[in-house]
């Protein structure tokens, strides 16, 4: 039972260990030469114009909200899919009802332009 | 014994990160501590033999909900001076009394109610399927069919509510 989680534990240890190792190792070997450009935050090569704590557009929130809703919808499909062969037609119909109600919301989002960026 | 040690270690991490969430000055940092907190709660679910719930905790809470939190933090104007966040109508004393009352209530439940808790129904044994995810599915799609369908209505309301709130013109 618990042995099934040993790969996950190894993964966690390696991931955090690599992060800590990289930070410690580079801090040991790097040369101590700084200038203004070097200390600026790296933003894909573009010069940072404003502070990172600027206010974001509400569109990001809308997209994130829609993502979470469809995420949760998918979560309901996992336990349904693993026993689909036992639920048969009954299971298919109840999932159809579930998805239909959400498709109504999807249609609404589409009609209101919530999925468009501009 | 080993289980108790694991539980109390996890509980200590969960409480520690929860304290960090509410004490860090930077709101973005406190959201990131919340991610760590959710991950340790997922480990707690693993201990309770609920791996499906643990996976969902990581996928939906640590992955999805926190993104939402981050966006809400970023939507708020964080550049105001600390004085701007002082609320003159804040009732610190009433809040303290209420929170102490709730704490005492919870302590009383924990102290007096331990023996009287009904044992968890082992309905899972009667199910025709094995495996945690299969059992969750079987319960959800037979006994709890109506709540499952109502959940879709809840998601629909959340979706429409978000669009109505966030779109400037409908």
- The structural domains of chain B, with segments of one domain joined by +, span 1-78
The ipTM, to two decimals, is: 0.73
Task: Give the start-to-end residue ranges of the domains of chain A.
Answer: 2-111
* CA–CA distance, A12 with A9 (Å, rounded to integer): 5
Q: What is the pLDDT of residue A2?
A: 66
Protein fold of A2-111? Methane Monooxygenase Hydroxylase; Chain G, domain 1 (1.20.58)
Mean pLDDT of B8-26: 92
Mean pLDDT (chain B) is: 84
**pLDDT digit string (tens) for A76-97?**
988 899 888 888 888 899 899 9
**Nearest CB to B170 within list A60, A73, A112:** A112
Instruction: For residue A82, give both structure tokens.
Output: 């693993």
* CA–CA distance, A88 with B141 (Å, rounded to integer): 11
Residue entry with tokens 């700084």? A34
Please answer yes or no on whether A62 and B79 come within 8 Å at the CB atom: no
* CA–CA distance, A57 with B46 (Å, rounded to integer): 38
Does B76 lie at the interface with A, CB-CB under 8 angstroms? yes
Please, are residues B153 and A98 in contact by the beta-carbon 8 Å criterion?
A: no
**pLDDT digit string (tens) for A19-41?**
999 999 999 998 888 888 888 87
Please answer yes or no on whether B136 and A79 come within 8 Å at the CB atom: yes
Cα separations in angstroms, A12 against A6, A9, A17, B57, B110: 10, 5, 8, 17, 34
> Nearest C-alpha of chain B: how many angstroms from A80?
5
**pLDDT digit string (tens) for B46-78?**
888 888 899 899 988 888 889 888 888 888 777
> Nearest C-alpha of chain A: how many angstroms from B110?
29
- What ranges in chain B are assigned the alpha helix state H? 2-23, 27-47, 51-56, 66-75, 92-112, 132-138, 145-166
Q: What is the pLDDT of residue A55?
A: 76
Q: Which residues in chain A are contacts of B59 at CB distance < 8 A?
A: 71, 75
Protein fold of B1-78? 1.20.120
Q: What is the pLDDT of residue B18?
A: 95
Residue entry with tokens 């102290």? B111
**pLDDT digit string (tens) for B94-143?**
989 999 999 999 999 888 876 665 655 555 456 677 778 888 888 888 88
**Nearest CB to A5 within list B46, B63, B153:** B46
Q: What is the DSSP string of A29-72?
A: HS-----HHHHSPP-TTSPP-S-TTPPPPHHHHHHHHHHHHHHH
> Nearest C-alpha of chain A: how many angstroms from B99?
32
Mean pLDDT of B148-154: 90
Q: What is the pLDDT of residue B89?
A: 76
Torsion of CA B115, B121, B122, B126, to 10 degrees: 160
Q: What is the pLDDT of residue B36?
A: 92
């Amino acid at each position: 039972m618990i042995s099934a989680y040993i790969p996950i534990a190894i993964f966690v240890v390696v991931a955090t260990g690599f992060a800590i190792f990289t930070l410690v190792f580079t801090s040991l070997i790097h040369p101590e030469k700084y200038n203004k450009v070097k200390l600026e935050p790296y933003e894909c090569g573009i010069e940072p114009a404003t502070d990172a704590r600027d206010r974001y557009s509400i569109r990001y929130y809308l997209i994130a909200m829609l993502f979470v809703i469809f995420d949760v919808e998918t979560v309901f499909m996992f336990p349904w899919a693993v026993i689909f062969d036992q639920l048969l037609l009954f299971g298919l119909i109840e999932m159809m009802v579930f998805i239909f109600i959400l498709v109504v919301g999807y249609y609404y989002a589409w009609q209101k332009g919530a999925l468009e960026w501009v | 014994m080993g289980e108790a040690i694991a539980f109390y270690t996890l509980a200590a991490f969960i409480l520690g990160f929860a304290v960090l969430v509410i004490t860090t000055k930077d709101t973005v940092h406190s959201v990131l501590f919340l991610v760590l907190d959710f991950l340790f709660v997922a480990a707690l679910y693993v201990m309770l033999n609920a791996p499906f719930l643990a996976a969902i905790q990581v996928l939906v809470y640590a992955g999805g909900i926190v993104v939402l939190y981050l966006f809400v933090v970023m939507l708020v104007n964080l550049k105001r001076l600390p004085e701007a966040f002082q609320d003159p109508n804040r009732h610190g004393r009433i809040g303290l009394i209420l929170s102490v009352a709730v704490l005492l209530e919870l302590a009383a439940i924990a102290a007096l109610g331990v023996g009287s808790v009904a044992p968890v129904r082992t309905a899972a044994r009667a199910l025709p399927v094995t495996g945690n995810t299969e059992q969750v599915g079987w319960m959800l799609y037979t006994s709890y069919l109506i709540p499952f369908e109502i959940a879709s209505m809840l998601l629909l309301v959340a979706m429409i509510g978000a669009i109505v709130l966030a779109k400037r013109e409908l």
